[in-house]
Amino acid sequence: MTSIPQHASAAPKMETRGLEIRYGPKAAVKGVSLTLPERQVTALIGPSGCGKSTFLRALNRMNDLIPGASASGEILLDGRSIYAGHLDAVELRRRVGMVFQKSNPFPKSIFENVAYGLRIGGLSDKRELGERIERSLHSAALWDEVKDRLGESAMGLSGGQQQRLCIARALAVEPEVLLMDEPASALDPIATAKIEDLIHELKARYTIAIVTHNMQQAARVSDQTAFFYMGELVEVGPTEQIFTTPREQRTEDYVTGKFG
Amino acid sequence: MATTHTDKTYEAELRELRDRLLAMGGLVEQAIVSSVRAVTERDVELAEQVKLRDREINRMEVDVDGQCRRILALRQPAASDLRFITTALKIVVDLERMGDLAVNVAERALDLAQAPAFAPTHDLAKIADLAEAQLKKALDAFVTGDVAKAEEVMKSDELIDALYLKIFNDMLGRMMEDSKNIRRATALMFAAKHLERFGDHATNLAEMVVYMVRGTDVRHPRSRAPGVPGA
C-alpha cells in the first residue's frame, strides 16, 4: 500500500515513505507510508507479527543492531532523512527516544539512571545535572514518589515506578519523539493508568508513537491509530473513526475481535 | 458480517441481543395489529389483551437495556459491534413506545365500544396496515443490515402522514355536522394520531439502521450546523 489519506492537522514530525524492512529474505514491513503528526499520539495496532514493532524500531534505527535486517524506502525526521549524513545513529536516538515493554533500569541509583544519558552526552555540571533530573522525573510523574530517595537503587522501585523511571531516563536527553513499545503491558491497571495519563501530558511537548496490543489502551491514549497486518499498513485514521467506523474490512475484523 | 467473533460466547451474546430485539419487535407488531382490529371490530376483549401484553414488551425493554449495559461494560465493543449496541439501546426505546401507542389505540377501542358505531374505519385500518408494514420493513432492514430497505421506510412515512391528515379532516367534518359526534370522532382522531406516531417511531428505527450499517447519522438533516456532516 503506497499512500493512505491521513487526517492530521498537525505538521508531520516523522514520516515514512514506502518503508520496507527485511529480516534476511523475509519482509517484515512492506511499503509503509505513515506520518507521525507533531505533538500527537499515534497508536500502532495489529496482531503479533504484523510488523508494528519492527516499524517502530526503524524510526530510531534500532533495527540496525539486528544482523541481517535491511531497510529501504524513506524515513524522515523534520523532513530530512534519518540516514542522511547530518545525523548519526546516536544523535538520532537522542532526538527519537524509546521506552520498552519491560522496564530496564540499570542496577544503579535512581539519580544515576536518569543521569546516564546526560553524562554520556558530556554533561557534568552538578547543578545542571540535578535540575535536569528533577525536571525529567517531574515530567515522568515520578518525582514526588522518589525525591527523598534519589540515591537508592532503582531496582527497589515497583514495576510501574521502574517504567516511569525509564520514561524519565528517555526524557532527560530532551528528545523530540518518544517511541513506546508496549510500555504498560507488564503493569497493573493503576500503574497503567498512570502511564496513560502521563502520555496525555507528554504529548503537549513530544510526538509519540505507541505500539500496544491493548486496543482499549490505543483508543484511550492516541489521536490517530494505524492498523498493521502482515507487514502492511491497512488503515490509518483518527482513533475515534478507527474504533467506530473503520473503512477497511480487515480493520473492522481486528477491532471487533473477529480474527481467527 | 464476513466472519464471526473469535470469542464464541461474545458472538452468542450479540446474537441473543439481536434475537431479543426481534422478538420484542414481533410483539409490538402483534400489538398494533390487534389494537386496530379491536377498534374496527369493536372487540373489547382484544383491546384488554393488548393492554395486558404490553407488560411483556416493557419487561423486554428492561432486559435489552441490561444486556446492552453488560456488553458495554464487559466486552468494550468497537466498530460495527459498538454501532449495533448503541443502535439497540435506542431502538428499544422506540419499540417500547410503539407498544404504548398500541395500548393507546386499544384504549380508544374501549371508548368507542361504549357508544354505537358511527363512522367507517377503513382509513384507520389502512393507516394501521402502513404503520405495521413500516415496522416490519424496519426490523427486516435491522436484521439484514439493508440500508436500501431502511431508506424506503424513511420515505414512506409521508403516506402515513397524508392518510392521517385525511382522517383528521374527515373527523373534523363529522364534528361540525353534529356535536354528538365529537366524543367518538375525537377517539378516532386520536387513534389515527397514535398510528401516525407509530409510523414515526418506525422511521426512527430505520434511521438507526442506516447509522448501524454505514456509521453515518442521517437524522435531522435540516437541523445540522453548517459544515457538520453525520459522524
Rounded CA-CA distance A109/B7 in Å is 46
**Would you say residue A77 lies in a domain?**
yes
**Would you say residue A192 lies in a domain?**
yes
| Structural domains of chain B, ranges and CATH numbers in brackets | 9-219 (1.20.58.220)
Query: When comparing pLDDT for A5 and B70, which is higher?
Result: B70
**Would you say residue A108 lies in a domain?**
no
The interface pTM score, or ipTM, of the predicted complex is 0.77
| CA proximity to A159, closest of A114, A192, A199, A181 | A192
pLDDT digits (tens, 9 = 90+) for A119-160: 988 898 999 999 999 999 999 999 999 999 999 999 999 999
Count A/B contacts: CB-CB distance under 8 Å. 46
Tell me the pLDDT band of B184, cut-offs 50, 70 and 90.
very high
Nearest by CB to residue A244, choosing from B7, B76, B215, is B215
Residue range(s) defining the domain that contains residue A38: 12-102+176-255
Tell me the pLDDT band of B228, cut-offs 50, 70 and 90.
low
CB–CB of B78 and A251 under 8 A?
no
**Would you say residue A114 lies in a domain?**
no
Q: What is the CATH number of the domain that holds A23?
A: 3.40.50.300
Rounded CA-CA distance A194/A163 in Å is 10
**Would you say residue A58 lies in a domain?**
yes
Q: B76 and chain A: CB distance < 8 Å anywhere?
A: yes
pLDDT, position B117 = 87
pLDDT, position A206 = 96
CB contacts, 8 Å: A216 with chain B: 76
Per-residue confidence in pLDDT tens, chain A, 260 aa = 434 445 546 899 999 999 999 999 999 999 999 999 999 999 999 999 999 999 999 999 998 888 889 999 999 999 999 988 778 898 999 999 999 988 889 999 999 999 999 998 889 899 999 999 999 999 999 999 999 999 999 999 999 999 999 999 999 999 999 999 999 988 888 889 989 999 999 999 999 999 999 999 999 999 999 999 999 999 999 999 999 999 999 999 999 999 75
pLDDT, position A260 = 57
**Would you say residue A126 lies in a domain?**
no
**Would you say residue A144 lies in a domain?**
no
Nearest by CB to residue B79, choosing from A216, A245, A260, is A245
**Would you say residue A244 lies in a domain?**
yes
Tally of domains within chain A: 1
Measure Cα distances from A91 to A12, A30, A139, A210, B208 in Å.
20, 27, 22, 21, 54
Residue pair B119/B185 in contact (Cβ under 8 Å)? The answer is: yes
pLDDT, position B227 = 62
Q: B6 and chain A: CB distance < 8 Å anywhere?
A: yes
Rounded CA-CA distance B103/B109 in Å is 10
